Chains A and B, each alone.
Chain A
C-alpha cells in the first residue's frame, strides 16, 4: 500500500508538470490495481524490523520509543553526574569559568523560542546535540579507564551505556524524521539537512580533551539530555494531535 501512497503524493506533485506524465501514472495505477485484484504472488512486506509478519511502526510508536530512549539517556547521565559529584569535593563554580562544548549549538532555551523554531529545525537541533556527544563520551571513557579503580569501572560502563543510548536515540530520531516526511506532517522539510555526526565543537577546538573536567562534562551531558528529551516531547505533542499531552 505504500506504493500506492507514494503514487498519490507523487501524482499530486506532478500534475502541474504535464498531462503526459499523468497518463503514464494512470496506466501504472491501473496495473497496480489489477495486480492487487488478482494476487498471484505472495508478497512479503519489506520490513526493516526483522521479525516475520512484522508490524510497521506508526509515527506514534516511533515517538513513544524515542521518548523512552531519551528518558533513559537522561537517567544515565544524571546518574553519572551525581555519582561523580559525590565522589568529589564540591568545589567549583561552574558559571563563568567553563562552557559546555555544545554551547554554540543554538538550542532554544525558552518556550517561545522552541515553538517558533518549527518541527524540522527542532529535529535538526536534536540531531546535532546527539551527534556532538559521541566523541566526548569516548574520550571520557578513555580517561576514566586509565585510572582502573573500582569507581572508574563503574563510570566506564555507564559511559558506554550512554554512548549506546545516544547512538540508538540518534538512529531513532532519524527514523522519526523520515516517517514524518512520509506521513506528510506539515512543517517537516523534506530538504532537511541532517548534520553529520561528530560536529566539532567548542571545547575540543580550544584545548586538549583532558583539560575538560569530567564533572563539568557530565553536567553538560545531563543538561543536554534533558533538552533533547524536552524537544522530542514537544515534537511528539505537536505532531500527534490525538495524543493526550
Chain B
C-alpha cells in the first residue's frame, strides 16, 4: 500500500513538471540567411528549448534608416524555421536588422539581432547543363567543358557577375584538381591521359558572396590516342640512341687524342723515348731501362737535321760495357728512336731532337705527366730554368739530384754555360741522364749516371772529367774526336779523343750514334742568338765559359752554343 502511494506520489511528481516545469522558451538563434540570386533571400533559425510548451516563432526585421518593424512575410516557402523574403520585400544595399522571437505561454525570448546586407549573402545555385566534349586540336584531343549559369541568377543583364571553377579528377583518384575559369562559360583541358575516365564538376560564386555547391559530376572517357604517344616515344628513343652514338664516338676519338691533337697541337716536350710507365709499375727495372735504349741509333733519316749543324762526337765505351750493352740490345724496342717515329703517344715527343728544345726552357718537363718522378723533374726544370735565365756560371746553385734517378729531360737550356751538367742530355729521344755532378766554375764534371745499377749496364754515367766514365743508354761505345769535335756525317763516326778536345760550344747532345758515337749539336740556328754570347762552353775537360758566338747560322758552321760537354766523352778511355 505504501509502495503504491509512493509510486503515485512519484508519478504525480513526475507529472507535475509538465505543468509546473514550463518555462519560457529558450533563445533561438539565426543560423544563416542566404540569397540565391540577389533578388530574394531566406533566413533560417535554430529554435532553443521550447520550455515544454508549444512555442511559436516570429521573425521581425527593421530596415536601415527606418524605425518601422516588419514581420516576416513568408514562413512557409522555405520550410520550417525559415523566413522567405520575396522580391518586393528585398532591398539590396540596405541593412536589415533581423530578430527571431520565440513565444510560448509563459513568455517570449528574443534572439540576438543580426545585421545583414543582401549583397553579401549571395550564394547561387550550382551551374547547370554541364557538357563535356572531346575536341581535336591538330590531331591532339582535348576536353571542352561547357555549362550554363544557374537559372535564377540573372547574369545576362549584368545584375550578378559570376565566376566559375571546374574540378576534375580521374575516376580512381580522390583529389579534385581545380581550375578557375573566370567569367567564361567554357573551359578547355589538355594533356589528359589517353583512355582515362574522368569526372568533372563546376561551381560558381558572385563577386562577394559564397561558393555554390558543386554541380553533379559528369563522367567522360578520354579517347585512346595511344599510337600517337607511341610514335613519339619511338622518335625520342631513336634520337637518344643517336646522341648516345655520337657521345661514344666523341669519347672514342678523344681517347685517341686525334681531335685533341687537331685542336691543340701538343707542345713538344722532353720525353724519354722508350720509357714505359707500365714497366715501371711492374717493377722490372731492367726492362725499363732496356726499353730506353734505342736500337737504331744513329737515325738513318736525316730529314730534320739538314738545317742543323751536327757534329758527331764519338765516345768510346769499354769492351765490357759494350758487351753488356750488346746483350741488352735485344731486350727492348729501342732506347733511342728516330725522330720519324711518332708512334709514341707521349706528347712530349719533340725532345732533344727538336731545335726548339733550346728555346723551350723547360716547360717541356712539365709535359711528361706520366713520369713517376715528375715532381723532381719539375723541381729540376725550375732550377734549370732559373739557371738558364740567369746564364750564370755559378753551378753551385744547381740542385742536383743525387744519382740514380731517371730524368725525362732533354737538356733544355738556352744558356749552356750552366752548369747543367746535372741535366739530362738527349740522346736522340732518350736521355742521358745526368744525375750527378755539378759543373763548377772550373772544370767541373757532369756525369750521366744511370738511376739504377741495372741501367748501368746499358747506360753509364757520362762524366765530363777525363776520369769519369761515360755511361749512356747506348750499347755502343762512343768516341770523341781527336780534335775534340769534328763534323761528322751521319754515317761516319769517329772516335773522340778527349785530350785534344777543342773548346767548342755545344748546345746539346744530339744523339748517340748507332756505333757508339755521340752527336753533339751546336745549334747554329738557335732562335735566340742573343744568348750566344752568354753561352758558355762546357766542353771537354776544360770547362771554360768563353762565349764564342757564331755569326752565321748556316748549317755546317759550328755553333757556339753547346751545353753538352764533350769532355763527358773523354773519360772513355778510363773505363
Residue from the list A95, A110, A111, A223 in contact with B97, Cβ < 8 A: A95
> Measured between C-beta atoms, what is the minimum distance from B114 to chain A in Å?
11
Which applies to chain A's interface (DSSP): helix, strand, loop or mixed? helix
Q: Across the interface, do B92 and A245 meet the contact criterion of CB distance under 8 Å?
A: no
Interface string of B35-53 (1 = CB under 8 A from A): 0001100000000000000
The answer to whether A234 and B159 touch (CB under 8 A), given A96-B65, A223-B93, is yes
> Measured between C-beta atoms, what is the minimum distance from B543 to chain A in Å?
90
Give chain A residues whose Cβ lies under 8 Å from the Cβ of B119.
Answer: 223, 226
Q: Across the interface, do B64 and A115 meet the contact criterion of CB distance under 8 Å?
A: no
Cα separation A214 to B115 with both chains bound (whole Å): 19
Residue from the list A99, A110, A238 in contact with B158, Cβ < 8 A: A238
A2: interface (CB < 8 Å): no
Give chain B residues whose Cβ lies under 8 Å from the Cβ of A96.
Answer: 62, 64-67, 97
Considering only residues 155-201 of chain A, those with a C-beta below 8 Å from chain B are: none
Cα separation A202 to B155 with both chains bound (whole Å): 34
Give chain A residues whose Cβ lies under 8 Å from the Cβ of B154.
Answer: 111
Which applies to chain B's interface (DSSP): helix, strand, loop or mixed? loop
Residue from the list A94, A95, A110 in contact with B39, Cβ < 8 A: A110
> Measured between C-beta atoms, what is the minimum distance from B303 to chain A in Å?
76
> Measured between C-beta atoms, what is the minimum distance from A118 to chain B in Å?
13
B117: interface (CB < 8 Å): yes
Considering only residues 198-245 of chain A, those with a C-beta below 8 Å from chain B are: 223, 226-227, 229-230, 233-238, 244-245
Give chain B residues whose Cβ lies under 8 Å from the Cβ of A237.
Answer: 156-158
Give chain A residues whose Cβ lies under 8 Å from the Cβ of B208.
Answer: 78, 226
> Measured between C-beta atoms, what is the minimum distance from B282 to chain A in Å?
83
Cα separation A231 to B64 with both chains bound (whole Å): 21
Interface string of B59-94 (1 = CB under 8 A from A): 000111111000000000000000000010011111
B185: interface (CB < 8 Å): yes
Residue from the list A95, A115, A226, A244 in contact with B93, Cβ < 8 A: A226
> Measured between C-beta atoms, what is the minimum distance from B38 to chain A in Å?
8
> Measured between C-beta atoms, what is the minimum distance from A222 to chain B in Å?
10
Give chain A residues whose Cβ lies under 8 Å from the Cβ of B117.
Answer: 223
A149: interface (CB < 8 Å): no
Q: Across the interface, do B185 and A111 meet the contact criterion of CB distance under 8 Å?
A: no
Give chain A residues whose Cβ lies under 8 Å from the Cβ of B67.
Answer: 96
B161: interface (CB < 8 Å): yes
Q: Across the interface, do A109 and B95 meet the contact criterion of CB distance under 8 Å?
A: no
Q: Across the interface, do A93 and B158 meet the contact criterion of CB distance under 8 Å?
A: no
Q: Across the interface, do A234 and B97 meet the contact criterion of CB distance under 8 Å?
A: no
Q: Across the interface, do A109 and B157 meet the contact criterion of CB distance under 8 Å?
A: no
- Interface core residue of B63, B94, B157 (most chain A CB under 10 Å): B157
Residue from the list B115, B155, B184 in contact with A95, Cβ < 8 A: B115
The answer to whether A95 and B90 touch (CB under 8 A), given A236-B158, A237-B158, is no
Q: Across the interface, do B184 and A244 meet the contact criterion of CB distance under 8 Å?
A: yes
Considering only residues 56-109 of chain A, those with a C-beta below 8 Å from chain B are: 78, 93-96, 99, 103, 107, 109
A20: interface (CB < 8 Å): no
**Least CB separation from B38: chain A residue:** A111
Cα separation A234 to B161 with both chains bound (whole Å): 10
Q: Across the interface, do A245 and B155 meet the contact criterion of CB distance under 8 Å?
A: yes
The answer to whether A109 and B158 touch (CB under 8 A), given A244-B184, A244-B185, is no
Cα separation A93 to B63 with both chains bound (whole Å): 12
A114: interface (CB < 8 Å): yes
The answer to whether A110 and B92 touch (CB under 8 A), given A94-B64, A95-B64, is yes
Q: Across the interface, do B87 and A112 meet the contact criterion of CB distance under 8 Å?
A: yes
Interface string of B110-136 (1 = CB under 8 A from A): 000101010100000000000000000
> Measured between C-beta atoms, what is the minimum distance from A240 to chain B in Å?
10
Q: Across the interface, do B157 and A238 meet the contact criterion of CB distance under 8 Å?
A: yes
Residue from the list B64, B97, B156, B159 in contact with A230, Cβ < 8 A: B159
The answer to whether A245 and B158 touch (CB under 8 A), given A95-B115, A223-B117, A226-B119, is yes
The answer to whether A109 and B92 touch (CB under 8 A), given A95-B97, A99-B65, A233-B161, is yes
Q: Across the interface, do A94 and B159 meet the contact criterion of CB distance under 8 Å?
A: no
Give chain A residues whose Cβ lies under 8 Å from the Cβ of B184.
Answer: 244
Knowing that A95-B115, A107-B93, A109-B94 touch, tell me 11 more A-B residue pairs with CB under 8 angstroms. A78-B208, A93-B97, A95-B97, A96-B66, A110-B90, A111-B154, A223-B93, A234-B157, A234-B158, A236-B158, A237-B158
A-B contact pairs, 10 of them (CB 8 A): A95-B97, A96-B67, A109-B91, A110-B91, A111-B38, A111-B159, A230-B159, A233-B161, A245-B157, A245-B158
List residues of A whose CB falls within 8 A of some B CB: 78, 93-96, 99, 103, 107, 109-112, 114-115, 223, 226-227, 229-230, 233-238, 244-245
Top 5 closest pairs, chain A to chain B, by CB = A237-B158, A233-B158, A234-B158, A109-B91, A95-B97
List residues of B whose CB falls within 8 A of some A CB: 38-39, 62-67, 87, 90-95, 97, 113, 115, 117, 119, 154-159, 161, 183-185, 207-208
